[in-house]
Amino acid sequence: MRKLETVAALRTHLQPLSRAGKRIGFVPTMGALHEGHRSLMRAARKECEIVVASIFVNPTQFGPGEDFEKYPRPLEKDLAACREEGVDVVFVPEVGEIYPPGAVTRVSVARLTEGLCGRHRPGHFDGVTTVVAKLFNIVQPDKAYFGQKDAQQAAVIRQMVRDLIWPIQIVVCPTVREGDGLAMSSRNAYLSPEQRRQALCLSKALHWAQGQIETGRGDVQKITAAMREQIEAAGPCEIDYIEVVDAETLEPKTSAVGRCLVALAVRIGPARLIDNVLVDAGGAGR
Ligand code: AMP
C-alpha cells in the first residue's frame, strides 16, 4: 500500500494506471475508520482494480464551534485498517495541499442542501461539495463510494456529479450498525457509557417509524411526534430535526407514501448524531 501526501505524487502514481485502463475506485473519508468505512473499501475492492482512499479532516465542512480540532485522528490505526482492506493508495494531504493560500473557489449545490442537516449546519455542504470536487479532480475515479448513513451528503454529491457532467459513478452502500443497532460513527467515541446506552433510542425510533410506514400508518405528523417522545424519554438531548422526506428530492412529505427517507439529527452530550432509514411505502409516487 502506498501512502501519498501530495497532489503531484498522487497524480504521477495514478495517471499511468488510468491510461492502462485500470478502473479506479475511490473512498473519501475523514479517518477514525470503523466498519462503515471498511464496508465502502470492501465494495470498492470488489468492483475496481485500483482502490484509493483519502483521509482528510476537511476544515471547511465544520462550522464555528464544531468539533474540527477535537475530531479523532488515529492515523497509524487508520493506515493499518486500509492495509487490511486491501487499499492500494491512501491519500493523506495536509490542509494547505487541498486549500492552497488564496483559494477562493467554492462548489455549491442548491435545493438539496437547504433542509435537514443543511438548515442546522450553515455552509457545511458547501464545504463537503468543495472538498469532494477537489478530491474527484485529483483522483479522477471511475467509481466513488459513500455511505447511506450520510444520506443527504450522498444525494448532494450525486446531484453535483450529474450537474457537472463528471464521468463518475456514485455508489451508495448501506449503513453499518453496531450489534445493538446504533449506526457506526467516528463521533460515537465522544459518548460516555451512559450516553452510548441512551443513543440507542435513535435507531430504535427509526426502526419503529419504519414499521409504522410499512404497515400503512403513514401520517408523518403522528410518526415524527411519537419519535420525538420516544427520544426525549430516553434522556437529555437536543433534537435538531426528525423528518420524513422524499428519498430522491429530500422534500418534506406529509404522508409517507412512495420512497421515503426518515432522517434525524440529535445532540446527546458532546455528540451530534445522525441516522436514517429508507422505507418504500408503496402507493402514490412509486
Ligand atoms: P466520514 O469519515 O464521516 O466523512 O465518512 C466517510 C464515508 O463513510 C462517508 O461516505 C460516510 O457516509 C461513510 N460512513 C460513515 N459511517 C458509516 C456507516 N455507519 N455505514 C456506512 N457508511 C458510513
Q: Which atom of ligand 1 is nearest to the CA of 37?
A: 8
CA-CA distance, 5 to 98, in Å (whole number)?
A: 10
C-beta separation of 186 from 32 below 8 A? yes
Is 0.85 surpassed by the pTM of this model? yes
Q: Summarize pLDDT for 29-82 with one digit per residue, the tens.
A: 999 999 999 999 999 999 999 999 999 999 999 999 999 999 999 999 999 999
C-beta separation of 241 from 275 below 8 A? no
CATH of domain 187-280: 3.30.1300.10
pLDDT at 285: 42
Q: Is the CB of 54 under 6 A from ligand 1?
A: no
Q: Is the CB of 39 under 6 A from ligand 1?
A: yes
Q: Is the CB of 135 under 6 A from ligand 1?
A: no
Instruction: Count how many residues are written for the chain.
Output: 286
Does the pLDDT of residue 283 top 80, yes or no?
A: no
Domain limits, the chain: 2-173, 187-280
Q: Summarize pLDDT for 174-205 with one digit per residue, the tens.
A: 999 999 999 999 999 999 999 999 999 999 99
Q: CATH topology of 2-173 equal to that of 187-280? A: no
34: annotated active-site residue = no
- Superfamily of structural domain 2-173: HUPs (3.40.50.620)
Phi, psi of 63 (to 5 degrees): -85, 170
